[in-house]
């Protein structure tokens, strides 16, 4: 589970990963208009947000339990690495996007962060997060906002840090979400994104694929009553750009000093950047 800082590999082209496999564009033009992907399906980009919303509404009450089961608890380590890399301080206002269940927000406050605003497009996930915060006695310095990562209801240049964990691959237009991240950050503000990524260790690749496609949907059916939601999860991970390509997207959005760490052999990656 070691992590390592990496700078983006500029030798990779924007249309392929290190193996030469094509990367699905964030959204592409089709004969019928703009389309994007929902897992392995191609859909009109106007309907993706609704489809993703249905997925998360259906699993909201079991979302955190499923994270524990499907990652064997390792997601907790990944999130802790994220918070440690952030180094929260009492004067820091953090915007946590897609953080509906409050896991990251509560960790940031426990680590010394001053205030956290959680934005999530899904009301069911936000409800779970508010209940969790109340149970943990976390009421002050914590806001819950229903909003879209591509059109944040947040003032420009208003937050010290922007965090997003296991969310950005679900947005319709990743480039738009990254542009919004830069907009809301103060000059000198920090961007951190934790997301499933491409396995960097060949020995893990086949095992990870077998587990992802064969086990996770069955686990989702058994625990959350929804195999399709976790089939979408696996497919969305495969469609998400690999580490270097995503790093370039962050830079293209106007953020600087882009770096990333592979976690658990690249099963997840943590990208960092700054608004200068």
Confidence (pLDDT) at 203:
76
Confidence (pLDDT) at 61:
61
Would you tell me which CATH number, out of the four given (3.30.1330.40, 3.30.110.30, 3.40.50.150, 3.90.1150.10), belongs to the domain 49-274?
A: 3.40.50.150
Q: Is the pTM of this model over 0.85?
A: no
**Sheet of 115-120, strand order:** 4-6, 256-263, 268-274, 185-196, 159-165, 93-97, 115-120, 142-146
Percent pLDDT > 70 in the chain is 78
In the three-class reduction of DSSP (H, G, I as helix; E, B as strand; rest coil), residue 241 is classed as coil
pLDDT tens by residue, 11-37? 322 233 332 233 333 333 333 457 665
Positive or negative torsion for Cα 103, 122, 192, 65: positive
Alpha carbons within 13 angstroms on the beta-carbon side of residue 77 total 13
Confidence (pLDDT) at 141:
94
Confidence (pLDDT) at 58:
56
pLDDT tens digits for the chain (276 residues)? 444 455 443 332 223 333 223 333 333 333 345 766 555 556 566 555 666 666 665 566 666 777 777 788 899 999 999 999 999 999 999 999 999 889 999 999 999 999 999 999 999 889 989 998 998 888 899 999 999 999 999 999 999 999 999 999 989 899 999 999 999 999 999 999 999 999 987 777 788 888 887 888 787 788 777 777 777 788 888 889 999 999 999 999 999 999 999 999 999 999 999 999
Q: How many residues does the chain have?
A: 276
Q: Cα angle at 40 between 39 and 46, to 5 degrees?
A: 60
Q: Are 210 and 276 in contact (CB under 8 A)?
A: no
């Amino acid at each position: 589970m070691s992590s390592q800082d990496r700078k983006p590999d500029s030798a990779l082209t924007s249309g392929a990963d290190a193996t030469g496999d094509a990367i699905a564009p964030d959204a592409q033009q089709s004969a019928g208009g703009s389309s994007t992907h929902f897992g392995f399906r191609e859909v009109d980009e106007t309907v993706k947000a609704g489809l993703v919303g249905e997925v998360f509404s259906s699993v909201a009450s079991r979302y955190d339990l499923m994270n524990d089961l499907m990652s064997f608890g390792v997601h907790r380590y990944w999130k802790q690495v994220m918070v440690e890399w952030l180094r929260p301080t009492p004067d820091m206002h953090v915007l946590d996007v897609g953080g509906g269940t409050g896991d990251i927000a509560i960790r940031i406050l426990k680590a010394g962060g001053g205030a956290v605003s959680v934005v999530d497009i899904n009301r069911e996930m936000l409800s779970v997060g508010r209940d969790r915060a109340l149970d943990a006695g976390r009421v002050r310095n914590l806001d819950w906002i229903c909003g879209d990562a591509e059109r944040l209801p947040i003032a420009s240049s208003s937050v010290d840090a922007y965090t997003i964990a296991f969310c950005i691959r679900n947005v319709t237009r990743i480039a738009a979400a990254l542009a919004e991240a830069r907009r809301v950050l103060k000059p000198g503000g920090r961007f951190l994104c934790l997301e499933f990524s491409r396995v960097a260790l060949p020995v893990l690749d086949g095992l990870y694929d077998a587990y992802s496609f064969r086990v996770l949907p069955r686990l989702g059916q058994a625990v959350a009553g929804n195999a399709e939601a976790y089939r979408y999860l696996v497919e969305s991970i495969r469609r998400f750009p690999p580490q270097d390509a995503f790093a370039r997207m962050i830079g293209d959005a106007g953020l600087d000093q882009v770096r990333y760490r592979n976690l658990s052999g690249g099963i997840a990656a943590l990208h960092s950047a700054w608004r200068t």
